[in-house]
Amino acid sequence: MKVSSSVALTASSLLAFTSNAEPIKRTQKCGLPLVQDKALVDSILLKDLLGCAQDLEDIAYSTSYRNRVHGTEGHLNSVDYFVEQLKSLGDYYDIELQDFTTEVTIASKAELSIDGEAVEAGGFSFGNNGTWADTPLVTVANLGCNAEDHPATLSGNIALIARGNCTFVEKITFAGEKGAIGAIIYNNADAGVAAGTLGGVNDLIPVAGITRADGLSLVDQISNGATVVSAGEFWQYIDNTTSYNVVASSKHGDANNVLFLGAHSDSVEAGPGINDNGSGSCGLLTIAKALAKWKTNNQVRFAWWTAEEEGLLGSEHYVNIASPSVLDKIRLYLNFDMIASPNYVLGIYDGDGSSFNLSGPAGSAEAEKLFEAWYESQGLPYVGSEFNGRSDYGPFLDQGIPCGGLDTGADGIKTDAEVTMFGGTAGIWYDPNYHSAKDNVTNLNLDAFEATGKAIAHAVATYGKSWAGFPSRNATSLTRKSLGLPRKYSTLARKSRRGKKSY
């Protein structure tokens, strides 16, 4: 095992787990047959995907916080689990652990009452601590995305703001500048309380999230002349913690033409994070284990990223410490974040820009077409997902690396047209359990999980065997970071239309 110089983990330090995932016998890389598409795809079984998901849920629930936040016991045990599963394959992969330290929300409390009656409420990642009592609510005009939307009467009061169009940070910054001592953001869909991230430690006013129905009711009362008072108690325990990226590279195949697949392995504080993103993590692990029965012509690399929920920090760390020559050997990076959403769509990253007018480096369009052709061959519908770098592929895009991937939706709103294509319920989130304690195994959509898992295996078999028809990497990608090209994402707006949002 390769371990970074600052990591002291050894094989003897790894925890023992009773795994629900299907075991695979140790194999040797020599004498293996060349990977075959149909055989690899057919070997991806729902019971193995679900077994892994159950293992991750068990890991989370065995800890006091019942989550897998970066640096907590739940995440460190998840890292150990991935390493143990990979080591069980013998010497097929070189395994590297990359340590990374950052601030994370470990625990939190969110309580809100209106006119003395308790109201369902939630906090926001990196929200500040605050307590207030008997404080009037003042409505903010429009969506609160401009300073003029926030009236002077906010001074000393609580801002009531609708979700949408701009970041949470922008809304509460404007409110704070007008003297508000706190803010309440109500959702823009019937999908539970508003929730999300402020992107990092800040000095903003405290903020709560409530449901759309509660928010509209309060707006109606205030507009009819009522004085509505609130009381709130919000706090978060934030600490510097260390955890690890797990990177596994096949020991055979052309190391100058790497197929790289990644998924984040951490959760938010609210729950075990089984769709977000145990599903993507388990999709990759199941395929990595199945691939160990085959050889490939091109090196295949898998990564389980830490600290994605804190702002893509694990994948960004990998890119930042990798040499330009290492990055230039990556022919394609594929990302998988939330692939079993209960109210799902089958989303494909829009690498050619045909759906959202945001395209990627040469090769991104080809990756999109590969997945489109696969879904079509299986008689499955699909939609484009906005290709804006707001998941762990963002740092790779910034280096000029072709990217692609699949998702099944997060806190975007499902349309009537999508219900016609995929079934489900219009007008609510693709994952109504997003960033909540209900994001567990029982709420995964098994059809979506299996379809995306097999689609990923198809990509691995295709590009693991040959890059025929795929564009060569442009040598200028070695210097893209120094060219001053605009970043495609920021800490305050990390995710796609169907991905996780900070607004």
Residues known to be catalytic: 308
Number of neighbouring beta carbons within 10 Å of residue 446: 12
Which tokens go with 367? Answer: 């990756």
Alpha helix stretches (DSSP H) within 322-381: 324-328, 364-377
391 Cβ neighbours under 8 A, 6+ residues apart: 264, 308, 312, 335, 337, 405, 407, 494, 495, 496, 499, 500
Find the largest Cα–Cα distance for the chain: 79
Angle formed by the axes of helices 46-61 and 446-465, to 10°? 110
- Evaluate whether 246 touches 97 at the Cβ level (below 8 Å): yes
* Cβ atoms of 215 and 192 closer than 8 Å: no
Give the separation between CA 336 and CA 283, rounded to whole angstroms. 8
Tell me how far apart the alpha carbons of residues 499 and 276 are, in angstroms, rounded to a whole number. 10
- Asked if 342 and 432 count as a contact pair (C-beta separation under 8 A), the reply is yes
User: Rounded to an integer, what distance in angstroms lies between the CA atom of residue 324 and that of residue 167?
Assistant: 33
Place of tokens 């409505």: 139
Report the C-alpha gap between 7 and 94 in whole angstroms. Answer: 16
Q: What is the 3-state composition of the chain as percent helix, strand, coil, each rounded to the nearest 5?
A: 30, 25, 45
Q: What angle do CA 369, 300, 76 make, to 5 degrees?
A: 110
Residues 6+ apart with CB under 8 A from 168: 124, 185, 196, 197, 198, 207, 502, 503
What is the crossing angle of helices 73-87 and 280-291, to 10°? Answer: 20
Dist. CA 492–CA 503, nearest whole Å: 8
Given a contact cutoff of 8 angstroms between Cβ atoms, the answer to whether 262 and 421 are in contact is no
Would you state the structure tokens that stand for residue 167, as one six-digit string? Answer: 């970041």
Q: By C-alpha distance, which of 149, 495, 21 is closest to 160?
A: 149
- Report the alpha-carbon angle 321-325-326, nearest 5: 55
* DSSP codes, 249-272: EESSSEEEEEEEEEEE----TTS-
Residue 108 DSSP class = E
